[in-house]
């Protein structure tokens, strides 16, 4: 077997790949109920991170030429990101998330659940006090909010596969 | 969904010890407030077993970074090519590869890059290619320059090209850097040395390749990449 190539940081200048359009997964002809996911990325001091790359992948609705299923958003000066996408299937209402940035030599892998699904194999494996870090809040209809804390108080649960 | 995405017997293999960097890297200052402190949670991949099928229809390919509108960038023209496979040496076809880099003077075409080196109007420094059915890719660029950074006194990054890859599943996503052989800065670079295993580090260094080299035009470098795949898990022996 060949070992997987080593990861290295995306660095501070990855914006040469950035395109605001990539944060709107409905930009083609996708039809269906839409949601927005907004949030902030903060570091161990609670300072906002303005050079992060946040990426999402959703398995439902199935990706197609009309719906890429994948999105990328550069965090703004206030650390914020915002995605617009189709609502995932209610039976598995979660998105896979990768956070990449200067100072991260490999992606931080996590998931965001759109509301508490109750019993869930991953959430049930997370210490109860940390479970809420993976669950977004619906602040307005179809408008979800979720904060990513890389370190310290309220640190987001990160995953290894 | 393909069979690989839904067959529960298939899983990611663990990374060999030392082949990937830890999050906290003492000599790389920016990891200090960004590396998680809590233990990672081992997750059984579910939605991560599928992944985006990105294509040039949605994200146009650009395999020539060495010019803008036919005007040649300054610097040493290079051809970079290689093969993308999984751990079992199976090719990864139609993988999207994004690349970005500094210009020949060591300056990024980026508003936050304040290094006192000239911008080259004929070099933007980003490209996108897709592997063919055999997992092969190729692009043309110029050799990036070294540049200083503020990590420590006399910190300079070795010449490098950033790579971002999407494989067959979300868990295969890889972002890395390709280095150049013979670079004296490799010996002192904290980011390169974030990978504990010297062999794994050495695999980030491209090979100068005379066969890829195009006479009277450009030098060739080969950089092969291995992504995570979903594999049959071996039976546990009690």
Q: The dihedral of CA B18, B148, B97, B43: what is its sign?
A: positive
CA distance B54 to A148: 26
Judging contacts by C-beta atoms under 8 Å, the chain A residues touching residue B21 are 6-8, 105-106
Predicted confidence band of residue A29 (pLDDT cuts 50, 70, 90): confident
Q: Is residue A66 part of a domain?
A: yes
Predicted confidence band of residue A91 (pLDDT cuts 50, 70, 90): confident
Q: How far is CA A83 from CA A77, A89, A143, A161, B115, in A?
A: 16, 17, 10, 25, 33
Q: Is residue A116 part of a domain?
A: yes
- Structurally, chain B folds into a number of domains equal to 1
Residue B25 has pLDDT above 80, yes or no: yes
Of A8, A59, A159, the CB nearest to B40: A159
Q: Is residue A50 part of a domain?
A: yes
Q: Is residue A3 part of a domain?
A: no
Domain residues for B171?
Answer: 3-232
CA distance B110 to A11: 12
pLDDT given at position B4: 58
Judging contacts by C-beta atoms under 8 Å, the chain B residues touching residue A111 are 43, 47
Which of A105, A111, A124, A158 is the best residue to mutate to test the B interface, defined by the most B CB atoms within 10 Å of its own CB?
Answer: A105
- Structurally, chain A folds into a number of domains equal to 1
Beta-carbon count within 10 A of B37 CB: 11
pLDDT per position as a tens digit, A142-161:
999 999 999 999 999 999 99
Above pLDDT 70, what percent of chain A?
100
pLDDT given at position B8: 67
Q: Is residue A154 part of a domain?
A: no
Above pLDDT 70, what percent of chain B?
95
Predicted confidence band of residue B238 (pLDDT cuts 50, 70, 90): very low
Kindly compute the dihedral angle of the four CA atoms of residues A125, A70, A24, B34, in this order, to the nearest 10 degrees. 50
Of B19, B47, B125, the CB nearest to A3: B19
Whether the CB-CB separation of A161 and B12 falls below 8 Å is answered with: yes
Q: Is residue A94 part of a domain?
A: yes
Q: How far is CA B222 from CA A150, B80, B87, B161, B216, in A?
A: 36, 6, 18, 13, 19
Residue B33 has pLDDT above 70, yes or no: yes
Residue B5 has pLDDT above 70, yes or no: no
Cβ neighbors of A130 (< 8 A, separation 6 or more) are A155, A157, B38
Contact call for A2 and B87, based on CB within 8 A: yes
Give the catalytic positions of B in this structure: 108, 147, 157, 160, 162
Predicted confidence band of residue A92 (pLDDT cuts 50, 70, 90): confident
Contact call for A151 and B35, based on CB within 8 A: yes
Q: pTM (2 decimals)?
A: 0.97
Q: Is residue A117 part of a domain?
A: yes
pLDDT per position as a tens digit, B100-117:
999 999 999 999 999 999
Contact call for A7 and B176, based on CB within 8 A: yes
Q: Is residue B238 part of a domain?
A: no
Of A15, A65, A160, the CB nearest to B40: A160
What value does the mean pLDDT take over residues B8-28? 94
Whether the CB-CB separation of B189 and B48 falls below 8 Å is answered with: no
Residue B1 has pLDDT above 80, yes or no: no
Residue A19 has pLDDT above 90, yes or no: yes
- CA-based nearest residue in chain A for residue B5: A59
**Sheet strands (E) in chain B:** 10-11, 41-42, 67-68, 71-72, 77-86, 96-100, 126-130, 136-142, 147-148, 156-157, 160-166, 174-179, 207-208, 219-222, 225-227, 231-232
pLDDT given at position B158: 98
Residue B74 has pLDDT above 90, yes or no: yes
pLDDT given at position B232: 85
Token output for A107 = 């992606």
What CATH number does residue B11 fall under? 2.60.130.10
CA distance B5 to B217: 44
Domain residues for A47?
Answer: 14-147
Angle subtended at Cα B106 by Cα B105 and Cα B110, rounded to the nearest 5 degrees: 115
What CATH number does residue A99 fall under? 2.60.130.10
pLDDT per position as a tens digit, B164-219:
999 999 999 999 999 999 999 999 999 999 999 999 999 999 999 999 999 999 99
Q: Is residue B169 part of a domain?
A: yes
Q: How far is CA B221 from CA A48, B38, B178, in A?
A: 39, 40, 10
Give chain A's radius of gyration (CA, Å): 16
pLDDT given at position B69: 95
What is the rounded average pLDDT for all residues in chain A?
96
Judging contacts by C-beta atoms under 8 Å, the chain B residues touching residue A104 are 23, 31, 34-35
Count, residues in chain B: 238
Q: The dihedral of CA A7, A13, A18, A23: what is its sign?
A: positive
Whether the CB-CB separation of B105 and B120 falls below 8 Å is answered with: yes
Q: Is residue A1 part of a domain?
A: no
Beta-carbon count within 10 A of A38 CB: 17
Residue B236 has pLDDT above 80, yes or no: no
């Amino acid at each position: 077997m060949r070992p997987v190539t080593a990861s290295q940081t995306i660095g501070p200048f990855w914006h040469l790949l950035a395109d605001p359009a990539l944060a709107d997964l409905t930009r083609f002809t996708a039809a269906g109920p839409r949601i927005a996911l907004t949030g902030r990325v903060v570091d161990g001091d609670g300072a906002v991170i303005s050079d992060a790359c946040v990426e999402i992948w959703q398995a439902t609705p199935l990706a197609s030429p009309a719906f890429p299923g994948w999105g990328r958003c550069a965090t703004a000066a206030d650390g914020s990101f915002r995605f617009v996408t189709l609502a995932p299937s209610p039976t598995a209402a979660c998105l896979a998330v990768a956070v990449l940035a200067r100072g991260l030599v490999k992606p931080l892998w996590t998931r965001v659940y759109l509301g508490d699904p109750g019993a869930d194999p991953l959430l049930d494996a997370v210490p109860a006090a940390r479970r809420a870090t993976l669950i977004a809040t619906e602040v307005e209809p179809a408008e979800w909010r979720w904060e990513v804390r890389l370190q310290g108080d309220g640190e987001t649960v990160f995953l290894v596969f | 969904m393909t069979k690989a995405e839904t067959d529960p017997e298939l899983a990611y293999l663990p990374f060999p010890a030392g082949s990937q960097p830890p999050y906290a890297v003492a000599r790389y200052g920016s990891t200090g407030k960004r590396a998680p402190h809590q233990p990672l949670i081992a997750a059984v991949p579910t939605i991560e077993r599928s992944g985006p099928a990105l294509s040039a229809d949605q994200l146009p390919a650009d395999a020539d970074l060495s010019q803008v509108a036919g005007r040649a960038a300054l610097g040493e023209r290079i051809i970079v090519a290689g093969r993308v496979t999984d751990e079992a040496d199976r090719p990864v076809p139609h993988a999207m590869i994004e690349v970005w880099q500094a210009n020949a003077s060591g300056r990024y075409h980026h508003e936050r890059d304040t290094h006192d080196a000239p911008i080259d109007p004929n070099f933007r420094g980003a490209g996108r290619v897709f592997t063919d059915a055999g997992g092969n890719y190729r692009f043309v660029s110029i050799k990036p320059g070294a540049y200083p950074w503020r990590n420590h006194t006399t910190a300079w990054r070795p010449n490098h090209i950033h790579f971002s890859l999407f494989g067959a599943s979300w868990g295969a996503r890889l972002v890395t850097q390709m280095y150049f052989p013979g670079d004296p800065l490799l010996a002192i670079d904290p980011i390169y040395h974030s990978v504990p295993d010297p062999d794994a580090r050495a695999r980030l260094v491209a090979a100068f390749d005379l066969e890829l080299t195009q006479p009277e035009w450009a030098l060739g470098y080969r950089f092969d990449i291995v992504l995570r795949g979903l594999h049959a898990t071996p039976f546990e022996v009690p």
